[in-house]
Structure 1
Amino acid sequence: MMRIRAGIALTGVLALAMAGCASEGDPADTAEPTSASPSESASPSQTPSTPPPTPTTPGQDAEDPADPATWEIEDGELGPIELGDDFDEVVASLPGDWVNDDSCAWVAYWSAPDGTYLVSFQRDAEGAGPVIAATVESLSDRSGIGPRTEDGLGVGATREDVLAVHPDAVEVDSPIEGISFLRIDDDDASDGSVFFQYADGQDGATRVAVTTLETPAYEACA
């Protein structure tokens, strides 16, 4: 019995000695702990994210005089064209692709390169003077083209679209049969009104005009 107990005791001593060697010399026990991957350690609030780009929309900060698609329709203004400004000075300030010729000297106009819409402005036909109207009109069946209001209204906007934003808009008849308007008035009479023009049988506005006239001229050069 003594030999058996001695054998057990010796075996225990050897096991402790081997364990001590492993704790002192095993690289696996002395290596630095491996860091967790970002997906394992980062919380959702710590995960970096890139915000989506802000789309360019018509408005004062984005307006390009050479690109009426970036212009904003607002009280008394269509992009850089402002009611009351000298007509000839406005013509001179715009890029060279605007047309103002002797056949219709009181009107200047610009056509979109893809032929979808036209922008124009006018003075009184009797002689030099201020801008009295500025208009964007559709030349195609496309909607959502050309200058827009800050609320996104423009050519193609339905009556429901306009009334949803401007419930005080006024229904106005036109002297031209088959044409009617929704008029949005401004508190300042010098800023005129914004008119959305509708043709019978069409849901979307075919023209949008900013003018001090009682109703927009149907054909400025007629």
Structure 2
Amino acid sequence: MAILLSGCVTASETAAPTPEPPSTAAPSASVPTPTPTTDPADPSTWLISEAGIGPITLNAPFSDAVAQLPTDVERDPEVCTHSVLWQDADGDNLWIVRDASRDDAAPLELVEWGDWTEPYDVGGPRTAAGIGVGSTVDEVWAAYPDALETTQRISPDIHYISVDAIFFSYREPSTVINVVTVTDAEQPPYEICG
């Protein structure tokens, strides 16, 4: 009677696992990262990007942008028909603007979130890096070290730190961002309805 002795292991020992050969099968599809939920009625959930602010996107028809706003808006029927102002519950302002020489079917040229009363509210829209109204200038530079800074042509105490189409504004002597504008223009206008 022949006894085959190969790989005997006692109860107190464990056999090393045999490594599996590398797989030649195609890798499985990766699971996409979930998109944060955006509530059209809650600006604190809105994202600021080159495309716009929250549900309001540049180059969409102006009338469509107005329809995206959560509640009624203010509109000057005589002087400022090319823009609409919406305020959230904290009194922060969202401006949307089209070309003044065109009608409401024209594309949206600017969307702006601002607070004009210090201390500035920090509960509004933010960029993916967490920057928005209420952020400090240092926080903007830390998040966007390659940004560019310019001053407003009419009022040089107003500074713009720009990242592509996003402009973070502050007014000296403050070093806190109080307006964020998204526009394809070279810089935001000094006055929307001036």
Q: Which has the larger radius of gyration?
A: 1
Measured in 2, the distance between the counterparts of 1:93 and 1:70 equals: 15
Query: For residues 93 and 112 of structure 1, do their structure 2 counterparts lie closer, same or farther at Cα, with a shift above 3 Å needed?
Result: closer
The corresponding residue for 2:94 is: 119
- The two structures have a TM-score, normalised by structure 1, of 0.65
The corresponding residue for 1:72 is: 47
The corresponding residue for 1:182 is: 161
| Cα distance, 1:178 vs structure 2 | 1.1
Measured in 2, the distance between the counterparts of 1:178 and 1:211 equals: 20
Q: Percent identity?
A: 35
Report if aligned partners of 2:55, 2:68 keep a CA contact under 8 Å in 1: no
Query: For residues 213 and 60 of structure 1, do their structure 2 counterparts lie closer, same or farther at Cα, with a shift above 3 Å needed?
Result: farther
Measured in 2, the distance between the counterparts of 1:177 and 1:149 equals: 25
Residue 179 of structure 1 aligns with an amino acid whose one-letter code is I
* SS at structure 1 position matched to 2:93: strand
1:164 aligns with 2:142: yes
What is the Cα-based RMSD across aligned positions, in Å?
1.8
Alignment of 1:1-222 (within 5 A): 61-103=36-78, 104-115=80-91, 117-128=92-103, 129-143=106-120, 144-175=122-153, 176-185=155-164, 193-222=165-194
Count matched residues.
Answer: 156
Residue 136 of structure 1 aligns with an amino acid whose one-letter code is W
| Cα distance, 1:101 vs structure 2 | 4.2
Residue 149 of structure 2 aligns with an amino acid whose one-letter code is E
* SS at structure 1 position matched to 2:127: coil
* SS at structure 2 position matched to 1:98: coil
Q: Which runs of 4+ in 1 moved over 4 A?
A: none
Farther off after superposition, 199-208 or 104-113: 104-113
Report if aligned partners of 1:60, 1:71 keep a CA contact under 8 Å in 2: no
Which blocks of at least 5 consecutive residues in structure 2 are unaligned?
1-33
- The two structures have a TM-score, normalised by structure 2, of 0.74
Which blocks of at least 5 consecutive residues in structure 1 are unaligned?
1-58, 186-192
Residue 135 of structure 1 aligns with an amino acid whose one-letter code is E
Structure showing the higher strand proportion among its residues: 2
Farther off after superposition, 79-88 or 154-163: 154-163
Measured in 1, the distance between the counterparts of 2:181 and 2:125 equals: 11
